[in-house]
Amino acid sequence: MLMVETQSAVSIDRLSVVFERDDGTRVQALRDVSLDIGEGEFVCVLGRSGHGKTTLLNVVAGLIPSYSGDVRVLGKPVKAPGVDRGVIFQKDAVFPWMRVEDNVAFGLRVSGMPKPERLRVAREHLDLVGLRNVPRAWPRELSGGMRARVAVAGVFASDPPILLADEPFGALDYVTRRQLQDVLLSLWERTGKTIMFVTHDVDEALRLATRVIVVSNGSVVEDQAVDLPMPRSDDALATPRGLELRHLLLHHIGLE
Amino acid sequence: MTEPGTGAASPLAGGAPEQRRPAAWGRWLAHFLVAPSGVLLFLAVWTILAIELPPSRLVSPYAVAVDLWNNFLRSPRLEVFGLGRTGYGALLLYTTRNVLVGLVVGSAVGIVVGIASARLRPLRLIVDPIVLVLGTVPVLVAAPLFLLWFGVVPFTQVLLVGGYSAVMMVIFAQRAAANVDPVYEKSAMARGASWRDRLFLVLIPGTLPEILGGLRITLASAWGLETFAEILGAPSGIGQAIKTLTNVNNVAGMLACVSLVALTAIIMDMLLVALARWVTRWA
Amino acid sequence: MASRRERLVSVASGIGVFVALVLLWELLSRIVTATGSYDEPLVPGWGYLWSNSLLRMADYWDGSLGIPSTVEGDPPTYAAAILALGKASLITFQRVLIGLVAGVVVGVGLGVLVSMSSLARRLLAPSVHILRMTPFLAMIPLFNLWFGAATIGIILFVAYGVGVIMFIGAINAVGNVPRVYFDRAATAGAGLATRYRLIVMPAIVPELRASLLLSIGLAWSLVVAGELLGAQEGLGVIVIYALQFAYTGRVMIIAFLFILYAGISFALVEAVSRWFIRWHHQTT
Ligand SMILES: Nc1ncnc2c1ncn2[C@@H]1O[C@H](COP(=O)(O)OP(=O)(O)OP(=O)(O)O)[C@@H](O)[C@H]1O
Ligand SMILES: [Mg+2]
């Protein structure tokens, strides 16, 4: 492995998850997954629909307590959600009953920060994602892309050391998605957080990640460092090394 | 492996649409244990209250069942108080007949007017203001008036139930018709369907699930309306029994009659649910 | 969305429909001239309603405030009639209001509480279904027996009916809150109390509002029914007196008042509560 690790942010050892459906059939969503993510890494979890990406992320987030195996975050076993892990969900989770700035400030409010201060922080982060003008809007008045920005601003405002993102840009158009990828990258570079980012898009993974994990049928089938310099322009991804990585990943998710 | 649905991660049992249901064996347990114990809980609380309270206020479910059994076919008590040779059973039959006649006639009118007004704007302009007023208003203020106009006859109660059903079903049918995606009708029209095909092949089947849901709500309220109209004045019916038994402070009898109506309402509701499930099995 | 013109048309036709109904009634009163007992026309025209039925409401004035009562033999006055109606309305209104508020607070409170545990919810489900399916209106005599036929009995009756509806509404509303909101709150470090305060409470408001609007019609129905069966004062009691002498006109006037009050309170609550769901995507 490429990284010289000081401490692992997330360490997963022989993780398995079995779901039981209502009709009694069982699904093995994850099978014997072992994984170590160092501090400051930007890891993309790549895989096709229904192959266990969300399940993996949710276990780390503490949202699925009934797993078998050993999962630790910053050395502590995961039993429940915690403020050391911020999550951006696959579904739109912006609270419709809170104004945009209150949504961004939600984590700070929960942690007990006084109102003027947390609103100041929230506005700073709205600035960073390019939503300076709509702090008092209701979420229903925003577009899908703007709501995705609110979600990004929200987790960064709470400033957790580890960020878990589940296809946060999955529903967006190409241009918006590219813009938000840049926003995310710049925030990552500023803050040095550990990021675990789920996606089914090979190009997105190549643009963002320092390392790509490919999940197939509940198992990790590939663990690949992406040794391309940042920031990665389209041209950088079209170099022989970029294309090679792209082919490799496409191969592992079942194409080519 | 524990089941995901009941794990500690769902902080609110009700808050997880996709994970709320317990696993298969859990549901089995739910079906065969939790529901009956829920009924038992209801009866237990009732019994405890009955023990605490004097019998002139509340009697136990057992005493109510006994009263029901003794008076179902023939109730000498009701005879003494002028209801003739009758029992709870015959009175319940009167009540049930009125509810069903009123419901069927009233909702038939309501559904037709509702669907028609959803598609014919002139009709809608006439129907909407009336429904707007009648839909938010206590329909039973009409009960005394009907009594004055038509007298102490079954028609008085049937009219009340029928009028109520009609108003409610206009509202439900209109809403249901509005919720049928216009694309279905357009595609039917594009394939050369006449207005009659559109009505019978698209609009009616498309609105049926919602209409049946509305019918269920309407039926549930109809029982109360009918019973109340009977208490106010009727030649027969379980409401008359309740009134008579109230006058002589017979708690067991009152509870027996109310329970009887409730039981009938629950059974009818179950039948309607079964019917709805069968009719809308495609949904 | 309806255009301005369309809205104008529907308002105009609404007024037209009501004018037509008023005229139709007058016509009917001219055709059907039958009278009931005590010489009261069965279909009283508007003139009769105004000059006799409304005026005769003075019979129910007790003579305080220096406005004489007809009991002492004084002729009926509109002042006394209005005062009699006003006083009865206030009594009835107070019952609706207290019953409604109590029912909403207790029903929603218990509903949210029960929704915390899936076992409690499933265990209580049969009881709730039984209570829901037991016709409220058939239970008035029981409430009279338990709590008396006076104000407190009627208030409790209204509160009970509204409470059951709101309880069910609250449980369903909590069940319909998307899970992802709880997950997000949990990952942001919110405890159970915070989750209830910041997620559940606001998220269930739109559905609760629908239940509340339903409850208003119900509350008025229950109060009418409660007052018709044995209250000592209030609007319904005037109906009881009028029924004894087959005074159709007076019954109609009270019925109009109930319809008016129920309509106004519905519109008022609908408009005011709209503010609470201004964040919601369909603010209608
Ligand atoms: N709560 C659940 N109950 C039963 N089965 C589940 C549950 N959640 C997920 N699964 C199953 O587990 C498998 C993995 O699901 P998961 O949500 O992790 O997929 P995913 O990789 O995130 O897919 P997508 O890209 O579509 O989001 C699927 O087969 C799914 O059907
Ligand atoms: Mg997923």
Measured distance CA(B261)–CA(B94) in Å, rounded: 12
CATH level 3 topology of A1-84+163-173+193-256: Rossmann fold (3.40.50)
For domain B64-279, give its CATH number from 1.10.3720.10, 3.40.50.300, 3.30.505.10, 3.40.50.720.
1.10.3720.10
Q: Which residue has the higher pLDDT, B85 or A43?
A: A43
Structural domain boundaries of chain B? Answer: 11-52, 64-279
Helix (H) or strand (E) holding C118: helix C118-133
Q: Is the pLDDT of residue B4 over 70?
A: no
Q: Does position C75 have pLDDT exceeding 60, yes or no?
A: yes
What pLDDT does B17 receive?
A: 33
Nearest residue, CB atoms, C202 vs list A91, A97, A139: A97
The total of other beta-carbon atoms located within 10 Å of residue C25's CB is 16
Mean pLDDT value of segment C36-48: 81
Which tens digits make up the pLDDT trace of A54-65? 999 999 999 998
As a whole number of angstroms, the distance between CA B235 and CA B94 comes to 10
Chain A positions touching B7 (Cβ under 8 A) are 64-66
How far, in Å, CA of A110 to CA of B30, rounded?
A: 36
Give the pLDDT of residue C180: 92
Is C157's pLDDT higher than 70? yes
Q: What integer pLDDT is reported at residue A256 of this predicted model?
A: 61
What is the residue-averaged pLDDT of chain B?
82
pLDDT in tens, A1-34: 444 445 789 999 999 999 988 777 888 999 999 9
Ligand 1 centroid to Cα of residue A226, in Å, is: 27
Is the minimum distance from the CB of A140 to ligand 1 under 6 angstroms?
no
8 Å CB contact between A20 and B23? yes
Q: What is the pLDDT of residues B212-232, one digit of tens each?
A: 999 999 999 999 999 999 998
- Say which of A23, A62, A64 has its CB closest to residue B4: A64
CA distance C169 to A110: 28
How many Å apart are CA C36 and CA C252, to the nearest integer?
15
pLDDT in tens, B167-180: 999 999 998 988 88
Name which of C132, C189, A22, C167 is nearest B27 in CA terms. Answer: A22
> C195: which chain A residues are within 8 Å (Cβ-Cβ)?
none
pLDDT value at residue A3: 47
The DSSP output letter for A4 is -
Average the pLDDT over A165-175 and give the result. 87
Interchain CB distance below 8 Å, C133 and B269: yes
CB contact under 8 A, A20 and B23: yes
pLDDT at B1: 31
Q: In chain A, which residue's Cα lies nearest the Cα of C186?
A: A81
Q: What percent of chain C has pLDDT over 70?
A: 98
Tell me what pLDDT residue B283 has: 64
> In this predicted model, what pLDDT tens digit does every residue of B98-144 receive, in sequence order?
999 999 999 999 999 999 898 888 888 889 888 887 877 778 888 88
**ipTM tops 0.95:** no
| Cα dihedral value C260, C263, C267, C268, nearest 10 | 50
Q: What is the mean pLDDT of residues A41-50?
A: 92
Nearest residue on chain B to A66, alpha-carbon basis: B2
Average pLDDT over residues C223-247: 88
Domains of chain C listed by start with CATH number: 85-283 (1.10.3720.10)
Side by side, the strands of the sheet bearing A211-216 are A85-88, A162-166, A194-199, A42-46, A211-216, A219-225
The nearest CA of chain B is from the CA of A59 a distance in Å of 10
Sheet of strand A26-38: strand arrangement: A26-38, A8-20, A68-73, A76-77
**Size (chain B), residues:** 283
CA-to-CA distance for B169 and A172, rounded, in angstroms?
A: 42
Does residue B282 carry a pLDDT above 80?
no
* Residue A63 CA, ligand 1 centroid: distance in Å: 13
- When pLDDT is averaged across residues C190-198 and rounded to a whole number, the result is 90
A106 at C interface, C-beta within 8 A: yes
Mean pLDDT along residues B62-66:
89
- Best A16, A19, A57 member to test B by mutation, with max B CBs in 10 Å, is A19
Is residue B6 very low, low, confident or very high in pLDDT (cuts 50, 70, 90)?
very low
Q: In this structure, are residues A59 and A34 in contact, taking their beta carbons and an 8 Å threshold? A: no
Q: Is beta strand A194-199 parallel, antiparallel or unpaired with respect to A85-88?
A: unpaired
E strand segments, chain A = 8-20, 26-38, 42-46, 68-73, 76-77, 85-88, 162-166, 194-199, 211-216, 219-225
The CB of B4 under 6 Å from ligand 1? The reply is yes
Q: What is the mean pLDDT of residues C31-54?
A: 82
Q: For chain A, which residues make up each domain, given as ranges?
A: 1-84+163-173+193-256, 91-159
Ligand in nearest proximity to the CA of A52: 1
A224 touches ligand 1 (CB under 6 Å) = no
Which residues does A50 contact at the CB level (< 8 Å), separation at least 6?
A: none
Distance of CA C182 to the CA centre of its chain: 35
> Percent of chain A having pLDDT more than 70?
97
Contact criterion met (CB < 8 Å) for A110 and C188: yes
Count of residues in chain A: 256
Tokens 């009409």 correspond to what residue? B142
Integer Cα distance of C71 and C60 in angstroms? 9
Tell me which residue of C164, C110, C105, C89 sits closest to C133, measured CA to CA. Answer: C164
Note whether C42 contacts B: Cβ–Cβ < 8 A: yes
How do beta strands A194-199 and A42-46 pair?
parallel
Ligand nearest to the CA of A56: 1
Cis peptide before A231 (omega within 30 of 0): yes
**Best residue in C179, C182, C184 to probe A by mutation, most A CBs within 10 Å?**
C184
Distance CA B263, CA B269 (A): 10
Q: Is the pLDDT of residue B246 over 90?
A: no
- Contact at CB, B138 and C221, closer than 8 angstroms: yes
CB-based contact (8 Å) between C203 and chain B? Answer: no
Asked if residues B22 and C110 have their Cβ atoms less than 8 Å apart, the reply is no
Q: Cβ–Cβ of A87/C187 closer than 8 Å? A: yes
Enter the tokens of residue B166: 């009609």
- Among chain C residues, the shortest Cα distance to B58 is held by C146
Predicted pLDDT of residue A214:
92
CB neighbours of A176 closer than 8 A, spacing ≥ 6? A145, A148, A169
For the cut 50, the answer to whether the pLDDT of residue B13 exceeds it is no
The per-residue pLDDT for B103 is: 95
- Among A134-138, C145-149, C213-217, which stretch is predicted with the lowest mean pLDDT? C145-149
Averaged pLDDT, A93-107 = 93
Interface of B with A (CB under 8 A): 1-4, 7-9, 21, 23-25, 27
CB contact under 8 A, C202 and A86: no
User: Are C142 and B228 within 8 A, CB to CB?
Assistant: no
Residue C229: which residues within 8 A CB-CB, separation 6 or more?
A: B231, B232, C140, C141, C144, C149
The predicted-structure confidence for C138-150, as pLDDT tens digits, reads as follows 899 999 888 887 8
A22 with B4: Cβ contact below 8 A: no
Residues of C in contact with B228 (CB under 8 A): 135, 137-138, 140, 225
Q: What is the pLDDT of residue B26?
A: 60
Those chains having 3 or more beta-carbon pairs within 8 angstroms of chain B are A, C
Is the CB–ligand 1 distance for residue A31 below 6 Å?
A: no
Q: How far is the CA of A51 from the centre of ligand 1 (A)?
A: 7
pLDDT top residue among B32 and B73: B73
**Percentage of chain B exceeding pLDDT 90:** 30
Ligand number nearest to the C-alpha of B23: 1
Ligand 2 centroid distance, CA of B201 (Å): 39
A81 touches chain C (CB under 8 A): yes
Distance of CA C150 to the CA centre of its chain: 18
- What would the pLDDT profile of A192-213 be if each residue is shown by its tens digit? 899 999 998 899 999 999 999 9
Please give the full DSSP string across A43-95, using - where no structure is assigned. Answer: EEEE--TTSSHHHHHHHHHTS----EEEEEETTEEP-S--TTEEEE-SS----
A72: contact with C, CB 8 A cutoff: no
Measured distance CA(C233)–CA(A215) in Å, rounded: 75
C216-237 burial, b at 16+ Cβ within 10 Å, e below that, comes to bbbbbbbbbbbbbbbbeebbbb
Instruction: Return the pLDDT at C69.
Output: 72
A51 Cα nearest atom in ligand 1:
21
Q: Is the pLDDT of residue C53 over 50?
A: yes
Protein residue with its CA nearest to atom 29 in ligand 1: A50
Q: CB neighbours of B189 closer than 8 A, spacing ≥ 6?
A: B198
Residue C73 reports pLDDT greater than 90: no
Candidate from A28, A54, A220 with most ligand 1 atoms within 8 A of CB, to mutate: A54
Q: How far apart are the C-alpha atoms of C50 and C46, rounded to whole Å?
A: 6
- Highest-confidence segment of B244-248, B275-279, C114-118, C263-267: C263-267
If you write DSSP's letter for every residue of B94-157 in order, what string do you get? HHHHHHHHHHHHHHHHHHHHHHHHHH-HHHHHHHHHHHHHHHTS-GGGHHHHHHHHH-SSHHHH
Of A10-14, A129-133, A184-188, C66-70, the one with minimum mean pLDDT is C66-70
Query: Given this model, what pLDDT does residue A6 score?
Result: 57
A63 touches chain C (CB under 8 A): yes
